[in-house]
Amino acid sequence: MPDGYDATMASWRRDPEAYWRLAAQDIAWSAPPQRIFDAAQGPYGRWFPDARLNMCHNAVDRHVAAGRGAQAALIWDSPISGGQRRITYAELQDATARLAGALAARGVGAGDRVIIYMPMVPEAVMAMLACARLGAVHSVVFGGFAAAELSARIADAEPKAVIAASCGLEPGRIVKYKPLLDAAIALSPHKPDCCLILQRDAWRCELEPGRDEDLLDAMAAAEPHPCVDRAATDPLYILYTSGTTGKPKGVLRDTGGYAVALHHSMSLLYGLRAGDVSWTASDVGWVVGHSYIAYGPLLAGCTSVVYEGKPVGTPDAGAFWRVCAEHGVKVLFTAPTALRAIKKEDPEGQQLRRHDLSKLEALFLAGERCDPDTAVWATRLLDRPVIDHWWQTETGWCITGNFRGAGLFPARPGSGGKPAPGYDVQALGDAGQPVPAGQSGSLAIRLPLPPGCAPTLFRADDRFRDAYLAAFPGWYNTGDAGIIDAEGYAWVMSRTDDIINVAGHRLSTGQMEEVLASHRDVAECAVVGVKDALKGQVPLGLVVLKSGAGRDEAALEAELVALVRERIGPVAAFKAARVVPRLPKTRSGKILRATLRKLADGEQPVVPPTIDDPMILDEIGAVLGIR
């Protein structure tokens, strides 16, 4: 790899296929790629179309074969349960082989889907790897979703099996996963053949005879299963993410391109090597968890920390620094919201100074834009590079960032850095032409997307084309808006659709509106993201009552909050609904959501000339107590 960011980008630009051919040499293929890219396959092309490999072999078995069997592959640290475990590569190989064997004995084979619904326990990573070993396609569902959301994913993915835990642990409460799973299966037209359940000490659940089995018993009794040879273009997983409608998008990930991109990013971006300890404080239910709790660190032979806890309250704002010190973490990756939570409780870093952070070299942030205040605060406190990098579920790894393996360029707080090799990112005007440097536009990536990015959506090529490729022919539309400045730094400022970002979680306001609109007393509604000092944004629902509903407003508002929690889940953090007399609309009947958002943020909105009734803004302002 050439030295320096500019040289690296120049080498990729000069010959993209040669760049990825070289990066592909770090992967153990059963059939190495002869062709690097085939533009004729899929909505925009496929990477490594003739190559073959197994992901679990690359992430686990080959390290054991190379003598790393005794090294920790995973360190589980759970301040919330008081547990800690160290799992070596040899132990991980045995566990994944047995779990793959247990799945195979229950009829799961290559190409079959498996839903994983688990908290932050090592078995979640084992389950992912076991699927990869078999060639089964996993779909991990985040624990903070409600039964209806889990059900929608079961209905869409049609899994043969589900691997779940009896419960998850949140501060002060046990989240009983098994009843949620039972309710989700009951709601879904598709039923899995079997459910393997990890019984946790905090709460053991009933198992349904004929369908449910104890996961650990099944693993203990299983024959270890070898790695199954797969095409590089075979799917590794589906990860559902919020689209602009209530139906979640099944983002599909291939195997070979993902392995190449992640392995490459471990050294180029994070500056990590085999034997290093990497900690991504996120959740396996999100893309960040897939890429940098599970696959990335293991592909590179690192030790990955699996943390079941929070940045604050488990037990205090020193939790992250304690974990870094105790396990010798070299690179920490988390969401800005977690840092803001720490900053609020420990602004001067007293907790931080209690811990030996001599091994920590850098902090990476993603999930939402890091506000400059928090970036400056963290840099001052840690006296190490604090790197905001921009990415999406669809891309699987960063679009822009700063590259420890190529020598860092100076950070600009508030910017997500410069493009990674593989990405030609531009801000486009409405007509699809790049705007001059420094001007705002729709952020788009010139096709093809690099290896690692979603080749399509699960069973939905047309939806992929409509959602991402239709707006600007020849480009992938990220859905984010922002600026590329004269030096090439990207400033990712907002979404161009109705997606909001709450505590680093991507949520659809359209989906919340569908839930509110389903309430019998609601005539119409709008959900907007309002600025929040901790979570970045939080949703606010504004509803208009049906005439004659005659409801006590406070009671109705509480019902609406409960309804969103029941249908979407606690992760929506939907805590505020207000009854308003009318919604502001254009004369053609379109709800003025941007105007509402400004109003709710306490800003003076520019009254659009197309508004049908300017007085309504004062009335809504009065309801919100800001006018």
Question: Minimum Å distance from CB 368 to ligand AMP?
Answer: 5
Could you tell which of ligand COA, ligand AMP, none binds residue 337, using a CB distance below 5 to 8 A set by kind? ligand COA
Q: How many Cα neighbours within 13 Å face the side chain of 419?
A: 24
Position 185 contacts ligand AMP (CB under 6 A)? no
E strand map for 171-320: 173-176, 194-198, 212-214, 230-231, 235-241, 249-254, 277-280, 303-307
Binding to ligand AMP by residue 340, rule CB under 6 A? no
Binding mask 346-385 for ligand AMP (x = CB under 6 A): --------------------xxxx----------------
Q: Counting Cβ atoms within 10 Å, is residue 45 exposed (0-12), middle (13-18) or buried (19+)?
A: middle
Torsion sign over Cα 220, 225, 294, 115:
negative
When asked if residue 573 is in the footprint of ligand AMP (CB under 6 A), the reply is no
- Comparing CA positions, the residue from 180, 142, 121 lying closest to residue 572 is 142
481 membership: H or E segment, kind and range: strand 475-484
Q: Which of 288, 317, 443, 577 binds ligand COA (CB under 6 A)?
A: 288
Residue 78 contacts ligand AMP per CB under 6 A: no
Contact 393, 251 (CB under 8 A): yes
Q: Using CB under 6 A, which of the segments 95-103, 294-302, 419-427, 474-482 binds ligand AMP? A: 474-482
Is residue 128 involved in binding ligand AMP (CB under 6 A)?
A: no
At position 576, the amino acid (one-letter code) is A
Note whether 492 binds ligand AMP by CB under 6 A. yes
By CB under 6 A, which span of 230-238, 337-345, 353-361, 482-490 interacts with ligand COA? 337-345
CA 239 to chain CA centroid, nearest Å: 9
The count of C-alpha atoms lying within 13 angstroms of the C-alpha of 436, restricted to the half-sphere facing its C-beta, is 0
Selection from ligand COA, ligand AMP, none that 154 binds (CB < 5 to 8 A by kind) is: none
Residue 345 interacts with ligand COA (CB under 6 A): yes or no: no
Cα 224 versus chain centre, distance: 31
The residue from 270, 390, 423, 468 that contacts ligand AMP (CB under 6 A) is 390
Helices assigned H by DSSP within 518-552: none
* 8 Å CB contact between 418 and 489: yes
Q: Label each residue of 55-71 as H, E or C.
A: HHHHHHHHHHHHHHCCC
- Enter the tokens of residue 76: 């589980």
Based on the shown chain and the rule CB under 6 A, indicate whether residue 291 belongs to the binding site for ligand AMP: no
388 touches ligand AMP (CB under 6 A):
yes
Task: Candidates 25-33, 44-52, 336-344, 609-617: pick the segment binding ligand COA (CB under 6 A).
Answer: 336-344
- Contact between 391 and ligand AMP by CB under 6 A: the answer reads yes
389 binds, among ligand AMP, ligand COA, none (CB under 5 to 8 A by kind): ligand AMP
Residue 527 near residue 359 (C-beta atoms within 8 A): no
Residue 570 in contact with ligand COA, rule: CB under 6 A: yes
Amino acid at site 273? R
> Can residue 183 be called a binding residue for ligand COA (CB under 6 A)?
no
In the chain, what is the straight-line distance between the N-terminal and C-terminal CA atoms, in Å?
58
Task: Select from 92, 338, 406, 599 the one that contacts ligand COA (CB under 6 A).
Answer: 338
Binding mask 401-420 for ligand AMP (x = CB under 6 A): ---------------x----
Q: Is 479 near ligand AMP (CB under 6 A)?
A: yes
Check residue 143 for interaction with ligand COA (CB under 6 A). yes
Instruction: Tell me if 504 contacts ligand COA by CB under 6 A.
Output: yes
Give the whole-angstrom CA distance, residue 143 versus residue 547.
38
Cβ proximity of 46 and 38 under 8 Å: yes
- 93 contacts ligand AMP (rule: CB under 6 A): no
Selection from 492, 523, 531, 497 nearest residue 511 by Cα: 497
Nearer to ligand COA by Cβ, of 61 and 388: the residue is 388
In whole angstroms, how close is the CB of 561 to ligand COA at the nearest point? Answer: 10
By a kind-dependent CB cut-off of 5 to 8 A, residue 310 interacts, out of ligand COA, ligand AMP, none, with: ligand COA
Decide if 355 contacts 321 (C-beta within 8 A): yes
Pick from 79, 168, 256, 422 the residue near ligand COA by CB under 6 A.
168
Residue 506 interacting entry, from ligand COA, ligand AMP, none, C-beta within 5 to 8 Å by type: ligand AMP
C-alpha–C-alpha distance, residues 627 and 619, integer Å: 9
Joined together, the tokens standing for residue 326 give: 């105790």
Chain centroid to CA 490: how far?
A: 20
For residues 519 to 558, the per-residue mask of contacts with ligand COA, x marking binding by CB under 6 A and - elsewhere, is: ---------------xx-----------------------
Q: Which residue has the tokens 């197309």?
A: 610
Question: How many angstroms separate the CA atoms of 239 and 393, rounded?
Answer: 8
The residue within the footprint of ligand COA, chosen from 131, 573, 577, 583 (CB under 6 A), is 573
Residue 149 binds to ligand AMP (criterion: CB under 6 A): no
Q: Does a cis peptide bond (omega within 30 degrees of 0) precede residue 434? A: no
Q: Tell me: does residue 164 bind ligand COA (CB under 6 A).
A: no
CB 249 → ligand AMP: shortest distance, Å?
Answer: 10
SS3 103: helix
CB 237 within 8 A of CB 442: no
Q: Does 498 bind ligand AMP (CB under 6 A)?
A: no
Residues that bind ligand COA (CB under 6 A): 119, 143-144, 168, 170, 175, 282-283, 286, 288, 310-312, 335, 337-338, 341, 366-367, 502-505, 534-535, 570-571, 573
Residues that bind ligand AMP (CB under 6 A): 241, 287, 366-369, 388-393, 416, 478-480, 492, 495, 501, 506
